[in-house]
Amino acid sequence: MNIAYQKRRMRIGMLTLLLAALFLIAIARLIILVAFDGPRLTSMAASEHSGEVQLAAVRGPIIDRNGEPLALSVETSSVYARPHELIASSTPDERAHLAAALGITPAELDRRLHHAAPFVWLARHLPLEQAQQAEAVGLDGVGDLTEYKRFYPESNLAASVVGKAGLDGQGLSGVELAYDRLIRGEPVKLRVYHDALGHPILDSPLSLKNSEPGARVELTIDGGIQSLAESRLAEEVAESGARAGSAIVLDPWSGEVLAMANVNAHGDSANDRLHNAAIQDAFEPGSTMKGLLASIALQDGVVDINRRIWCEDGRFHFGRFTIHDDSPHGWLALPDIIEVSSNIGAAKIALSLGTDRYYQGLRAFSIGERTGIDLPGEAFGLLRKESTWRQIDLANHGFGQGIAITPIQLAVAYAAIANGGMIVRPYVVKAIYSPDGAPILVHTPQMMRRALTPAIAHQMNLLLRNVVNGAEGTARRAKVDGFIVAGKTGTAQMVNPATGAYFQNRLVASFVGFLPADDPRLVILVVLYDVGHGHFGGLVAAPVFSAIASGAVRELGIAAPRPAGYESASIIPIDVLKHAESMVARDAVAAEIADDAAVPAGSNSSTLPDFAGLSLREALALAHQRALNLDVKGSGWVVAQDPPPGAPAGPDTVKLTLADDPGAATPSHPSSKSSAKRVRHARRGTR
């Protein structure tokens, strides 16, 4: 009896342990499923029973500085299908009618329907009438949704700047990509649910919240100047046989890009919106580099305008290399070297300057680094470390060989010569506004660094005028009626990528200049890529500059200055905000500023003036008058200076802080407030 009882208890105990073990195993498996495999299984279930499609919001418009639209969104209709439901409820003939309405073949329709997804697009961005025809076929499982398609009302005007938006409303290039987060608005997501047999659980997928439209983008681009630059550049590309061309129109004081044109000889309109040669392609600048070389050499004290250099009668033997000039020259001073564009003179100046000083000078001009323009894909160009330069490299770099720069880098460098020595950050977006008109972003001028003193910039301004106006100048075709033009031509051989040697008959021709030279308002660069032998910058690029400049001054209402000898004219303008004022009124303001603000009470010419309340242009004019070096931060009007007014004037740099509110100035001198008031009064009197 006891033995039987013990055996029964043992069997019950073993069964209990087995059941407990199975229970623990089940609990462990459940924990594993929930804690470890849960997210994966949930995702699998969701993917099998639902689908999600993101519908783009209305992209915000892109307009030029005058309010003309360059990119808009238009309403279209996109037809979708629930494949299982459509196939189950229709015959092949009915689906053939649907395919005809959509403008596709029955085979293509079947290919799209045989898809595991619960939701497929049959056609995107159709005209509303065509979508209605497809829906009128009356098949179950077919519907349409309203979508928005990007439309460019001015065709390819400023295409490389504006860029392109994709089928799903995403930015792909240009401003469309750079500011996509603001332009695209707030999209909505469409979810479609179905059961295990593929039947929809909801009758319609259209229970959506309204999308939020994107922001409005205002560009610095002037549509009129842009159109002129593109048309004139296209004409010259065709006439010269160039492969492509680029042109930039830049405000040297603010950094605003008024036009950025790129023309391809093959007319590849799709690529026009995806590639911007003006910021993404680098080229050897040729003789346009001589303007920067001369600026650096003058700044460093290596040369002056009177020192004469022997130019070897056109052939300079340098070791086993020979440097040539287009025509033989003997002794030339710096003004003559710039005017006739002597390679030998430039090479000897570069050798006198030395590797380290020339390299640092080029870096100060932003050569070899990005300018910071607000467009995607900007290239660095090519400026090798100075430690790798041989002496022949230094000589070649003096006249622009062995260095590669982008068009925007060259335009910004010459803008520094035009504005008194400051490197400005270029930009193409002036402001961005929310759909209700509230400002989201407003760009203001940004000074990056000083490349030249105002005195050296003024001296270079005078030298560059000889290139256009001198008897032997290489850019006489760059003249603009009624205006003094300063600039420099460039003609560089192209490198054969297969051999590393230069082509003898394939050139890059360019001209970069600014006007009016005595009050620079526009910097204009023209580059023609891959032209034949004999197509020099002065022959093919300079006339394009002249045509663009002539139209731009008319478009902006820039009046021709009073006749005066350009040797004695001032290059420093008075106020960046006054674009249409008369020259007589401007001279009156200049006189008042010079008399009223140049020498504060109790000071003399050996003490620092009071800059408080002055605009950037006025501060530069005053610094130029007193031969002072400035270090400028910010934009707007001067609100602080170090050292303070009345301190002894010396070789040290005066640091100025600018702000948009001139009333924010903290007076460091009793006359500070009154000086600011006098300047603002002068502005009001000349509007």
285 contacts 490 by C-beta, under 8 angstroms? yes
223 contacts 64 by C-beta, under 8 angstroms? yes
And the tokens for 598? 């140049």
Compute the distance between CA of residue 419 and CA of residue 422 in angstroms, rounded to an integer. 6
Any residues with CB less than 8 A from the CB of 236 and at least 6 apart, and which?
242, 245, 528, 540, 541, 543, 544
Which amino acid is it at 423?
A: I
279 contacts 381 by C-beta, under 8 angstroms? no
Compute the distance between CA of residue 430 and CA of residue 445 in angstroms, rounded to an integer. 10
510 contacts 525 by C-beta, under 8 angstroms? yes
Residue 427 DSSP code:
B
Q: Where are the beta strands (DSSP E) in 33-187?
A: 50-55, 62-63, 69-81, 120-126, 142-151, 164-165, 171-173
Any residues with CB less than 8 A from the CB of 321 and at least 6 apart, and which?
392, 395
Cis peptide before 643 (omega within 30 of 0): yes
Q: Where are the beta strands (DSSP E) in 435-574?
A: 439-442, 447-450, 486-495, 502-515, 522-532
Any residues with CB less than 8 A from the CB of 98 and at least 6 apart, and which?
90, 109, 122, 134, 137, 139, 142
Compute the distance between CA of residue 599 and CA of residue 607 in angstroms, rounded to an integer. 8
Closest C-alpha to 490, from 323, 296, 283, 285: 285
Compute the distance between CA of residue 479 and CA of residue 468 in angstroms, rounded to an integer. 6
Q: What is the SS3 assignment for 173?
A: strand
| Percentages of the chain per state (helix, strand, coil), in multiples of 5 | 40, 25, 35
Any residues with CB less than 8 A from the CB of 207 and at least 6 apart, and which?
none
Closest C-alpha to 156, from 276, 278, 282: 276
Told to judge if 287 belongs to the known catalytic residues of this protein, a careful annotator would answer yes
Closest C-alpha to 337, from 349, 355, 321, 324: 349
Compute the distance between CA of residue 398 and CA of residue 401 in angstroms, rounded to an integer. 8
* Three-state SS annotation for 562-614: CCCCCCCCCCCCCCCCCCCCCHHHHHHHHHHHHHHHCCCCCCCCCECCCCCCC
Question: How many Cα neighbours within 13 Å face the side chain of 135?
Answer: 14
Any residues with CB less than 8 A from the CB of 282 and at least 6 apart, and which?
379, 381, 382, 404, 405, 406
Q: What is the SS3 assignment for 631?
A: strand
Question: What's the Rg (C-alpha) of the chain?
Answer: 34
The DSSP string of 261-273 is EEEETT--HHHHH
612 contacts 676 by C-beta, under 8 angstroms? yes
Any residues with CB less than 8 A from the CB of 497 and at least 6 apart, and which?
none
Which residue among 77, 246, 254, 287 is the active-site one? 287
Known catalytic residues? 287
